[in-house]
Structure formats: C-alpha cells, structure tokens
Chains A and B, each alone.
Chain A
Amino acid sequence: MKRFLIFLPLCVAIAIGLAGWWGLNPDRDPGSVPSALIGQPVPVFDLPAIEGIGVSGLSTQDFTDASGPILVNVFASWCVPCRAEHAVLTRMVREDGLVLVGINYKDKPDAAAAWLTELGNPYDRIGSDETGRAGIEWGISGVPETFVIDTNGIVVFRYVGPITSDAALANIRKALAQAGADKP
C-alpha cells in the first residue's frame, strides 16, 4: 500500500502528461465547439434583406445551388468582437476571393446598415435575423460565429468566436479548401 502511495504522484503526473500530449494535437482548437449541424444540410430558414445596403436576403435556397464553398458569418452591430473580426473577413474576401454571406443576428436593420456603411460591406448576401429565430435553427451560442458550407449545402465546419487569431484563420482556410475540393 505504501509502495503504491509513493508512486501515486508519478502516476498522476504521467496521466496529466499524456492528456497534455494529446491536447497539443495541432488540429485541435480548444475554441471550436462541435455542432450537431456538422455533416448535416443547412437548416431551413428564410431571412429578408436589410433595406438600403444593396444586397439581397439569405435563405436555404442560396446554399443548395451554390457553385463553390460558402462562408457564413453570424454578426451583429452591437457585438464588439465582430468589429475586430470584420477587418479579417474583409481581407479574406479581397485576398482569397471567397463567397461570404452574413446572418445579422438580433439586430436593428438600421443599426446594421449604419455599421456596414461605416466599416464597409464584405458580404454577398445578408439575412436580417431580427428575432433570432434563424440563430436557433443554426444552433449558435453567441456572436460572432462562422460556418463553412460545402457545394452540396452541407455544414462542414463551425467556429465560435471572432476569427482573429492566425490559428483560427488557418483552420477556416483549411475547411474551405476541403469543402471546395469536393466540387463535382
């Protein structure tokens, strides 16, 4: 018994070490939360456009007949991290040439329009989700959140929080590349 107790600290240390080694896997991102939607088709929803910004609304239809992978970003003008993320998204659209659509979550359309006028609009389409109903369909836990949808309209990746770190950006790019590779 005493012998065992003497080795106990070492055993605990080894267990923690193994967990740590496992946790260092570069593909693992502690910020990513698995979603029940991964591998599922885009949920059914239909959101109106925001008046006066010149892009149309967003609905399930837009994903089923897409020609390439689509990045869906859930944002709101009242969300401070979204402001930080906005710059990153804008640069991604400019440099990578991807298709970015937005869900404007629980936001006043006027406020969102003003926000986009101030910062610029990188989105191809924006659905105004004033009630948060579509947010529930997508199962989001807060803003910002970002999803990658492949050409078949299947959700392949989800990221919670602002995409401001290099690691997050790399993960999104990887998911986009994989989603694009499936193109028939």
Chain B
Amino acid sequence: MIPEIGQFALTLALMTAVVQGILPIWGAARNNAVWMRSATSTAFLQCILIAIAFGALMRSFVVSDFTVLNVVENSHSLKPMLFKVAGTWGSHEGSLLLWTLILAAFGAAVALLGQNIPTSLKARTLSVQAWISIGFLSFMLFTSNPFDRIFPAPLDGNDLNPLLQDVGLAMHPPLLYIGYVGFSIVFSFAVAALIEGRVDPAWARWVRPWTLAAWVALTGGIALGSWWAYYELGWGGWWFWDPVENVSFMPWLLGTALLHSAVVTEKRGAFKSWTILLAILTFSLSLLGTFIVRSGLLTSVHAFAVDPERGIYILGLLVVSIGGSLTLYAIRAPKMDPGGLFAPVSREGGLLINNLLLALATATVLFGTLYPLFLEAVTGDKISVGPPFFNASFIPIMLPLVIVMGVGPFLSWKRADLPGVFDRLKWVMAITLIAALVVWYVQTKGPALAVLSMAIAVWLLLATLREWSLRIKLGQVGFGESLDRLRRVPRSSHGMTLAHAGLAVCMFGFIGSSAWKSEEVLFVEPGTQIEIAGFDVTFEGTERVQGPNYVAAVGVLRVSRNGREVTVLRPERRTYPVAQSQTTEAAIRSTPAGDLYASITEPANQDMDGKWTLRILYEPLVGLVWLGSLMLVLGGLTSLTDRRLRVGTPKRKTAVAPLPIVGE
C-alpha cells in the first residue's frame, strides 16, 4: 500500500510540475499576476508530493519490504538501520528520487525565501525549475521506477554493495546532490533572466546566496567522497582523477568561477553575459555528470547499474536543457550591455584572471575526461587518460591562480595601486621565500615542483591572513578597536578569508601527501618487522571478528618509534557473505604531521597460510586536505549568513551604507 502511495504522489508531482512549468511563465508573458503567483503554491505542492514519495521509499527500506524490487536489490534484513535508511539513495532509482526531491526543495526554498524577487522573474525561474523537474520525474516514472513490485517476494534482500556501507558514504550522495542540484536554481535564474532580457546587479544579488549554498554542499560532498576513498578503498590515496570524480569536480571549479564573477556583476554591473554563461554551464556540467555516471559511457571505479535506454533518455534531457539554454544565450547575450569599465590592474581584473584560469582548468578536466570517448568515436582506439595527464596540465593552471589569489583581495575596484599592494605584502613575500628555502633544505630529495607549490601555498595563507589583519587594523590600533572592527567587518569577507586560507591548508595536504609519501607493499607473517618513515612496525597476526552482516580478519600491527610504543593499528578485511564481496577497512593513525596508514588483504594463496599482503603508507600532512575542505565549507557558510541577512532585507535602498572595509 505505502509504495503505491509513493508512486501516486510521484505521478501527482509530475502533473503539478507541468502546471508549474506552464502557468507562471505564461502569466509572466501576459502580465497576469495570479498566474505568476501560482508558482509559489505549485512549488510547495510539488516539493511536498516528492517528499511523500521519498518517505514512502524510505519506509520500505526501513521495514525491509521485500515486495519492492528496489529494496530487494539494495537491502538486507540484517543490515544496520543507518544503512537501511541510506539504502534509499544507494541505488540508481532511489538516488534519482533524492535528486528530484532536492530539485523541488530548491524550488520551494526560492518560493519561500525569495520574497523580494520581482514577481515576473520569480515566476519564470520557478517555471524553468519545473521543466527540469518534469524531465527527471518522467525519466523516473518511465524508465527507473523505484516503486516497482516483485512477485513472489523473496525471503531476503541482495544487500547493498558493502563498499557503500559506510557512514561517510551514506552522507556523501545527499551532500553531493544538494551541490549538483543546487546549481539548477542558479541555472533557472539565468534562463529566466535571458527570457526576460534583463540582467542587473540586483539579479546577481538574488543569485549569489543560492550559488554559495550549492557550492558549500558540493565542496562538502566532494571532500566526504575523497575521505571515503581514502579510508575505505584501502589504496592510500584520496583523489584518482576517475571520470566520476572529475564530473563532480568540474561543476565545483565552474561554480567557484561563478561565485566570483557574480560578485563583479553585483558590485560593478560587469561580466553580465559571462556570469549568465557560467550559471548555465555549471548546471550543464552537473547534468553531464549525471549522464556519464548513469549511462556507463566511460569506465570508472564507481558504477551504477548501467542501461543504455536510460542513457538515451538522459541524453535527450541534456539536449533540450543544455542545447535550449545555450541557444537562448546565443540569441540574447549579444544584446546585453557590457557594463562597468575597469583598468587591467583592479579587483575586476583579478577576478577576470580567476575566472579565465578556472574556466581553463575546467576545460582541461573536461577534455581529459571525454578525450577517450572522442578518440574512440573518431579512430576506434581505446585509451585511458590518467593522473599523469591531469597532474601535468591541471597543476600548472592552478598555481598561477593561487598566486593571484593572494593578491586579489588587496586590489580595489576599478583601478588598483599594484606597487602599494606589493609594499603591503613585502613581509609576506620575504617569509614565503624563507619558507621555500626551509622546505627545500628539509626535503632536498623532493621534486622541485613540490617545493614551489609549498611556497605558493605559504604565500596564499600569509597574504590572506595579512589582508584580514589589515582589514581589522590588527596591531595598528588598540586591541579593543581591532576587536570592534572584527565584529563590524561583513561576514562575507570573513568567509572569504576563511575559504582562501582553507585552500592554502588543503594545498599543504595535497603536496605533503603526494610528494613526500612513503609506501611499502609486502607479504607479512606473524613476527614480520617493517621500518617506514621512522616507525618500526611489527605484524603480530590476525584475529577473527564477527560483525552484524560480515566477518572480518583483523590484523594487529604494533607500532613503535625509537623503541617507544606508539600505537596498535588494526586494519580489517571484511567479508560480506550475502553480497559475496569483501571490503578493506584501513587502520589510520592520524597526527597533524601525517597519517600512518595500513591495510591488509588475504593470503596470496592457500599454502602461504598466515601470510597477508600488507600495504603500509606514511602520508605527511594528509589530514590537512580535510581540515582545509572544512575551512572552505565553513567559509562559505559564514558568508552565507551574511548574505541571508541582506537578501532578507526588504528595502535594500534604505539599508545602511556598507562600512569602509578596505584597510588604509
């Protein structure tokens, strides 16, 4: 019964979306206020209906209703409750339902929070959003219905892929989808503005908080995903340039560019057509990601059940949404006025470089990801593009970006005084140089690029902190006044400081863990001793442990340093009898200086009884990757609290003029 309610709610949601897709936009064309306002109620209704469907599916998972095919395929009665719930979005169908739920939730949020958005723009935006909903709801109902029944019902389920039974991964898709799908509302705003034929600073102001919210979620989602790969896959890495990772990374890169170009549109009225294009492309890349992941177009370590028919349907959606919006853009964009003028050395100029480099980096990743497909289509050759390509092409684009990032916040709008900026940064430059020399001295073996990157990261961190200290006049005025300034500086600029510093911290992690890692892979038997990065590790043997739906062999590794006991690492190898698969649970000893990381796999063959393959790594600074990601997320959230206040202000014109915030 409950699954049928879900199915029914989903069908109703599709119909609501059709109404929402037609009535408000038509009303906007005919200037009919009632039709336009209907968007608010249909957006709520659609969101509630999809939420009911989602609740129905979740209930089927929670009570293990094995008459529902999707539950049979992705759950098992013995599974812990958390993963039963997470199973709701663990499959293709369920994750699609979550996708549409978030899509509708963003529509409803705009209906609720966007009270100061002009009625016609809001109506058009919600209509465009509804069209995206129609695409995905019909896709779900016609090709991937999560509520399909099975008869006769089996006694138990097939279990969710054990690799996916992990807390980090249970939370990863929802966050990632909020990010992916969050850009849909920005896309809808952009298309609505194109239909309306007007883009102004106010438009950018309405769009920015949504961009920021989506960006924060996407950052968190990607960070969680890489964290999962780090401790679950047991390969000792956190990023593999896998196609599925790349398709989540591309919207992030372009979304970052969008975040910055929208600032220019908002503050200076420039970059209008570029901001619109970025808004369209960012969501287009999210859609492309959905397409690639679900159609099995490229080989990847992550895979959903693949079905070419689904691929054709999503491709159709892509053609309509991306092709349609870009055609509209091509028609309307030339009519937009270019907006404010600025000198090459200025805040605008800095952000222009930011945008160009980020767009170039995105294009590089897109090229590397799709090149195998193009090559196969044209010549029939099969190749795979791996980390060497991305490292060689992506890093040289990002390093100049990070250098400019240090300077950018010092530049003033329209025309900046570069010598003055460098004067304020002279100590930062000096310390950066010293830091580079120190790194070089300590790590003479390390590659030159790593030393350079480390110096650039130090530069970014110090320049960011310097800018922040100048802003609050730290050390120039009394401590009390600095504290007072600290409170009055807009939250968005604190957010920027935090996020920029976060990227610097991330970079320390990226560089340390890739350039200076030590790794050993070897056969061990009880009593084997290994020395790695100054640690003495003794393998004492394995113990068997019974889990709720798995059995595990736990390796015991005694770790000491200079004769003193440090810790005992217990890497696990779990076997899931129902799903007939195995997972690796790495044991990690984390310290700020680096992680000691161990994983084991079973004996290579039977007569080597008691011998295990041990992979042990020391990854310096790797924890900073996630600390930095957390700072990026917190920076975005801090900025968002500021934005929301401003968006919520009904009469912006009468608001108090912003404080002079640039120091000196």
Interface positions of A (Cβ within 8 A of B): 2-3, 6-7, 9-10, 13-14, 16-17, 19-26, 30-31, 33-34, 77-78, 80, 84, 87, 107-108, 110-112, 114-115, 118, 165, 167
Contact = CB atoms under 8 A, between A and B. Distances in A.
Nearest to B300: A30
B430 interface: no
A6 B581 CA distance: 51
Nearest to B281: A9
B378 to A, nearest CB: 9
A171 B284 CA distance: 33
A107 B608 CA distance: 12
A9 B308 CA distance: 26
Given A10-B327, A10-B329, A13-B322, 16 more contacts: A9-B326, A9-B329, A9-B330, A14-B323, A16-B370, A19-B370, A19-B377, A20-B318, A30-B296, A33-B382, A80-B582, A80-B601, A84-B581, A108-B607, A114-B605, A115-B606
B297 A23 contact: yes
Contacts of B137: none
B333 A111 contact: no
A22 B376 CA distance: 10
Interface in B263-318: 277, 280-281, 284, 288, 291, 295-299, 306, 308, 311-312, 315, 318
A111 B326 contact: no
5 nearest CB pairs, A to B = A111-B605, A114-B606, A10-B326, A26-B308, A24-B311
26 contacts: A3-B334, A7-B330, A9-B281, A9-B326, A9-B329, A9-B330, A10-B323, A10-B326, A10-B327, A13-B284, A13-B322, A17-B315, A19-B374, A20-B295, A20-B318, A21-B312, A22-B377, A24-B297, A24-B308, A25-B308, A31-B299, A34-B380, A78-B604, A84-B580, A114-B606, A167-B296
Interface of B: 277, 280-281, 284, 288, 291, 295-299, 306, 308, 311-312, 315, 318-319, 322-323, 326-327, 329-330, 333-334, 370, 373-374, 376-377, 380, 382, 580-582, 601, 604-608
A163 to B, nearest CB: 14
Contacts, number: 95
Most chain B CB atoms below 10 A, which of A21, A23, A165: A23
Contact of A77 (B327, B580, B606): B606
Dominant SS among interface residues on chain B: helix
A166 B626 CA distance: 37
Nearest to B319: A17
B309 to A, nearest CB: 8
Nearest to B613: A78
A2 B338 CA distance: 13
Nearest to B601: A80
Contacts of A107: 605
Contacts of B333: 6
A2 B605 CA distance: 65
A16 B298 CA distance: 13
A104 B112 CA distance: 65
Dominant SS among interface residues on chain A: helix
A78 to B, nearest CB: 5
Contacts of A19: 370, 373-374, 377
B607 A165 contact: no
Contacts of A31: 299
Given A3-B334, A26-B308, A30-B299, A20 B291 contact: yes
A34 B607 CA distance: 36
A110 B607 contact: yes
Contacts of B297: 20, 23-24, 30
Nearest to B280: A9
A102 to B, nearest CB: 16
A13 B326 contact: yes
A167 B370 CA distance: 22
A16 B277 CA distance: 17
B306 A165 contact: yes
A118 B603 CA distance: 15
Most chain B CB atoms below 10 A, which of A13, A31, A115: A13
A19 B311 CA distance: 13
A80 B280 CA distance: 44
Nearest to B331: A6
Contact of A24 (B288, B295, B327, B374): B295
B582 A6 contact: no
Given A9-B281, A80-B601, A20 B322 contact: no
Contacts of A80: 582, 601
Nearest to A25: B308
B373 A2 contact: no
A2 B377 contact: no
A6 B334 contact: yes
A108 B319 CA distance: 54
Given A17-B323, A24-B311, A9 B288 contact: no
A9 B312 CA distance: 22
A21 B317 CA distance: 12
Nearest to B277: A9
B159 to A, nearest CB: 14
A23 B311 CA distance: 10
Contacts of A115: 605-606
Nearest to A10: B326
B359 to A, nearest CB: 11
Contacts of B608: 111
